[in-house]
Amino acid sequence: MKIPLAVLALILAALTLALPCLAQNAFTPDQVKWGPAPPFIPAGAQLAVLEGNPMAASGDYTIRLKLPDGYRVAPHTHPNRENVTVLSGTLKVGMGDQFDASKMMSFGAGSFAYLDPSMHHYAAASGETVIQIHGMSPVKFNYINPADDPTPKK
């Protein structure tokens, strides 16, 4: 009986030591750290980085964006595929070079979409909306109309 008890004690000790490592790779909603979104998207959104470095030259990333009601992103593309999951609220998405609210589709919580680099698209939030985006770095917005780029000019 002492051997199985010793094995059980070793397993429990290993699990206890492993838990801090797991905590670094898993988040409960209250552990997500929100901050301002980067300047290449309109002001008002908040960003949380869950995995990787979205601004790195390469590598996987996972981010969340919290968008206020009425938030809009002008038509744009990305250099890499964008995978989007709506966690809460409603994300409206339209395709094309001109923002046209009448041509947007609504995606509620639980919806998923992926957009390839060649897809010209635009978005808006209906109600406070949280989306999760994952893909390959770098995250970059290529605005169809350069005048729509909110990045401060130097």
| Predicted confidence (pLDDT) per residue in 41-58, tens digit | 999 999 999 999 999 999
pLDDT attached to residue 14: 41
Q: pLDDT confidence of 153, banded at 50, 70, 90?
A: confident
- pTM reported for the whole predicted model: 0.83
Q: What is the mean pLDDT of residues 30-41?
A: 94
Quote the CA–CA distance of 124 and 65 in Å, as a whole number. Answer: 12
Helix (H) or strand (E) holding 121: strand 121-136
> Hey, CA dihedral for 105, 107, 112, 116, is it positive or negative?
positive
